[in-house]
Copies of this chain bind each other. A is one copy, B any other.
Amino acid sequence: MRNRRGRERRESGGPPGQLPWARVTNPFPPLELLRPEQLDAIDDAAFTILEEIGLDFLSPEAMPVLRAGGADVEPGSQRVHFGREVIREWVGKAPQHYLVKGRDPARDVGFGGNEMVFSLVASAPNCSDLEHGRRPGSFDDFCRFVRLGEVLNAVHVFGGYPVEPVDLPAATRHLDCQRAFIELGTKPIHAYSLGRRRILDAIELVKLGHGIDDQTLEEAPRLTSIINTSSPLRLDGPMIEGMLELAARLQCCVITPFTLSGAMAPATVVGAIAQQHAEALAGIAFYQMIRAGAPCAYGGFTSNVDMKSGAPAFGTPEYFRSTVISGQLARRWRLPYRSSNVNAANSVDAQAAYESMFSLWACVAGGANFIKHAAGWLEGGLVCSLEKTMLDADLIQMIRACMEPVVVDSDALGLDAMREVGPGGHYFGAAHTLARFETAFHAPMISDWRNFQSWQEAGSPDAARHAHDRALALLDTYEQPPLDSARKSALDDFVERRKREGGVLAA
C-alpha cells in the first residue's frame, strides 16, 4: 500500500511515500577490519595514555568524584591519571542496551545491540535550501527543520539543534529551542551540555513537557547529550557540569572525542583512534563514577584533515576505517556505539552523495547504533541543508530496504510464472507479476528513472531539485502533535520565568 500511495503522490506532485516509522535492526555482521591482537594493542595504547600522560579535567567539581572512583588526581592540578583496572571496573558498569524515550511512547528507540538510531543533523551555524540560499540559522529555520525531522520516518531522534537560531539571545535560546522540540515533535530530544544552568533547564522542561516526575525520568533517559572532549586529552568545565547533572538523573551521555587526525590527534588513523579510545574510556569511566549504570555511549568522530589546508575531510577512506575500527572497540567494551553521516561538500552534488555513502556504509559495516547527523549535514557540519536532509532520508530508507529479510519460498521463486511465460516470453502480464504490481520493489523518494528525453522536457531536474520539491511537499503534511494544555502552560510558565530571570546569565 505504501508503495502505491508513494507513486500516486509522486505523479500528482504530492509528498513521497515513506517507509513506515520503525526501530531499525542491522542484520549484517560487523566488519572486523583489525585482528584481535591489533585491538589489544589499541586498548593497551589507550591504557598507557591514561596511565602515563593522563587527561585534564577542567573543573574542580570533577575531582572528588574522580578520587572516590580510584583515579589518580595530581594535587593542585587538573591532570588526572587512570589505572587500567580503574577504567575496566567503571566502564564495565555502563549498560549495554537501554531505551531512549520520546514524548510519544511509540517513538521510543533502543540504544545498543544491533539497533540503528538515525538522528537529524545538529549544531550547524547555517542552513540552506535551493529557494533561499545559504544563510545563518534563525528560529524559524530551526522550527522548520524540527517539523521536517518529525515528519520524516527515517529520522528517529533530534540530535541537537538542526541549525543554531542565531536570531535568539544566547542566554535564553536553549529555553525556546527545548520547548520547541517538545511542542513540535514527539521523538526523543537532545540537550547541550553547555554548563549546569542549560542542562537543568532542559531537564525541567522535559519533565514538564512529558508530564513526568523525577522518578519516572530516571526509569529511562529522555534526554541525550553529546560530550565532546576538547581533544587532545581534555574535558572542559561546561561538559563536566552537564555530565554531573545528567548522570545523576540517569540520562544519556554520548562521550565523543573530536579527534581530527593531523590536527587534534596524531596524523595516523590508528594513532587518532588510540587517543579517541583513551578519551572515550576516561569519559565513560567518569560518567559511571558519578552514578553507576547511567546510560552512555562510545562516540567515534575520528576523521582526517587535508594536510595542506588544515580543512577537515569527511566520508574519506580514513573516515571509513576509523568508523569501522571504532565499532570494533565499542563492541569489545560492550558499549552502544555512536558514529555519523558526514561529508565535506559545499552543495548537494555527487561529492555530497558519495562522501555520505562512504559514511553510511561505514556506519553499517561498523555496527553503529546511534548515527548522528544522519540527515541534513553539509559542508563538514557548517550547513544544515533542506535538500540534503531529504536525500539522506532516502538513503537511510534504501539501506533499510537492503536490510529487510529475504524470503525464499515457492511464491518468491516463482517457478509457476516461469512455466507460464516459458523461454522467450515476458513477465509484464504474468499473474505472478500482476499480483505484485504495486508492492514488488522499494520506491525511492528522489531517484528519477525517466528516460533522458522525458527528463529533459521536464527541465532536467537533478536530485537536489527533486529533494527540494519532496521536502516541501512533506512539510505540507506536517501537523503539530497535540500536547495536553496543562503541560503546555507549564512549559510556557517555566520559559517565561526563566527568561525574566535572564536565562543562563542569572545562574
Contact = CB atoms under 8 A, between A and B. Distances in A.
A235 to B, nearest CB: 10
A355 interface: yes
A100 to B, nearest CB: 27
Interface stretch (A197-205, A247-255, A436-444, A475-483): A436-444
Given A267-B440, A304-B441, A415 B350 contact: no
A399 to B, nearest CB: 8
Contacts of A169: none
A306 B449 contact: yes
Task: Among A380, A407, A413, A432, find the residue whose CB has the most chain B CB atoms closer than 10 A.
Answer: A413
A344 B267 contact: no
Contacts of A415: 45, 48-49, 274
Instruction: Bin chain A's interface residue count.
Output: 35 or more
A428 B269 CA distance: 15
Contact of A353 (B38, B354, B404): B354
Nearest to A44: B413
A344 to B, nearest CB: 5
A28 B401 CA distance: 22
A1 B292 CA distance: 51
Contacts of A407: 270
A432 B271 contact: yes
A268 B412 contact: yes
A344 B311 contact: no
A452 B347 CA distance: 9
Contact of A441 (B262, B346, B395, B408): B262
Number of copies of chain A assembled together? 2
Contact of A354 (B41, B42, B275, B354): B354
Task: Among A33, A409, A424, A448, find the residue whose CB has the most chain B CB atoms closer than 10 A.
Answer: A424
Contacts of A395: 354
A494 interface: no
A138 interface: no
A414 interface: yes
A34 to B, nearest CB: 6
Contacts of A428: 262-263, 310
Given A53-B423, A233-B424, A448-B346, A41 B413 contact: yes
A267 B432 contact: yes
B357 A433 contact: no
Contacts of A180: none
Given A423-B79, A452-B134, A406 B264 contact: no
A354 B351 contact: no
Nearest to A436: B267
Interface in A447-473: 447-452, 455-456, 460, 462-464, 467
Contact of A45 (B33, B55, B230, B413): B413
A358 B398 contact: yes
A271 B414 contact: yes
Nearest to A407: B270
A75 interface: no
Contacts of A53: 418-419, 422-423
A23 interface: no
Contact of A232 (B346, B402, B425): B425
Contacts of A404: 317
A266 to B, nearest CB: 4
A432 B266 CA distance: 7
Contacts of A446: 351
Q: Which 4 A-B pairs have the closest CB atoms?
A: A271-B414, A317-B401, A266-B414, A357-B357
Given A33-B406, A350-B464, 8 more contacts: A29-B29, A52-B419, A266-B433, A268-B436, A274-B414, A321-B402, A346-B455, A355-B447
28 contacts: A29-B31, A38-B408, A41-B413, A55-B423, A134-B452, A232-B423, A232-B424, A263-B427, A267-B414, A267-B432, A270-B406, A304-B441, A309-B450, A311-B449, A313-B441, A316-B447, A317-B404, A320-B402, A321-B402, A321-B406, A325-B406, A344-B449, A346-B452, A350-B352, A358-B402, A361-B361, A382-B452, A383-B452
Interface of A: 7, 28-29, 31-34, 38, 41-42, 45, 48-49, 52-56, 79, 134, 230, 232-234, 261-271, 274-275, 304, 306-313, 316-318, 320-321, 325, 344-358, 361, 379-380, 382-383, 391, 395, 398-399, 401-402, 404, 406-409, 411-415, 417-419, 421-428, 430, 432-433, 436-438, 440-442, 444, 446-452, 455-456, 460, 462-464, 467
